[in-house]
Amino acid sequence: MSRKIEAVIFDWAGTTVDYGCFAPVQAFITAFEEYGITPTFDEVREPMGMLKRDHIRTMMNMERIHEEWKRVHGKDFTEEDVEQVYQTSENSILKIVHQFAEPKPCVLETVKYLRDKGIKIGSTTGYTDEMMEIVVPAAAQKGYSPDCWFSPNSVGNFGRPYPYMIFENLKKLEVTAVSAAVKVGDTVADIREGLAAGMLSLGIVEGSSVMGLTEAEYAALSPEEQADRRRKVEEKFLAAGASAVLRNLSELPVYLEGLER
């Protein structure tokens, strides 16, 4: 059955800006190191896309980090500890996030396509309002500016996988039905957010947090290695229930045209 798409709801870091989603990763590592623990990249990236406070709590419940916390601090962690690590990560990312607002490849071209087709552009994020007040104008200076954005702060801090940021977008953009919009993101939390809202939920592979490579690192891989990394990311998105997986945003126009046919 064909459908008319009225809006696309994008994620930010790792989807439209910040190839590889490195700003949050650096902030989380810095925060934990201040408390005597060095998390791995895999540990940091596993909960990526969640509300930042929930992200910290999820990491602190990971078996290795949990045991390391007890070894370093001589006791189990408390909610006060979660809050302190969270606040440290917030302070850290506010210092660096302006450096990570460069639009990813294919973003500006795809945005032009959507504009030309009259498709509205919304966005959700794991960033706070304070972070977005830095990122949004920085991205706009580089050519990317969605019609609206909503952070967890705007929905009572019910971040992903709750669908409420998406619903605020649909309301603001005056989308006539949930089925008339699609969600696009680069994390499992993004996929779950879109599904929770009852809409098609797409994963972006290249430059995603799940892949976790810089543009230069990805380009340095052989074609076979690139294909293998893409396959692993695609499998993770599909296991999370993704409606479709796109290699990069250049494939979004063809996907949307397929829906309308």
Active-site annotation, residues: 11, 52
Asked if 152 and 189 touch (Cβ cutoff 8 Å), the reply is: no
Asked if 208 and 249 touch (Cβ cutoff 8 Å), the reply is: no
Residues 190, 193, 197, 199: is their CA dihedral positive or negative? positive
Segment holding 193, helix H or strand E: helix 188-196
Asked if 162 and 60 touch (Cβ cutoff 8 Å), the reply is: no
Instruction: Using alpha carbons, list the distances in angstroms from residue 237 to 214, 222, 233, 247.
Output: 20, 23, 6, 12
Residue type, position 98, single letter: H
Instruction: Using alpha carbons, list the distances in angstroms from residue 141 to 20, 52, 57, 127, 246.
Output: 20, 26, 34, 19, 27
Asked if 109 and 74 touch (Cβ cutoff 8 Å), the reply is: no
Alpha-carbon gap, residue 37 to 69, rounded angstroms: 7
Alpha-carbon gap, residue 98 to 41, rounded angstroms: 21
Backbone angles phi, psi at 253, to 5 degrees: -55, -45
Instruction: Kindly report the length of the chain.
Output: 261
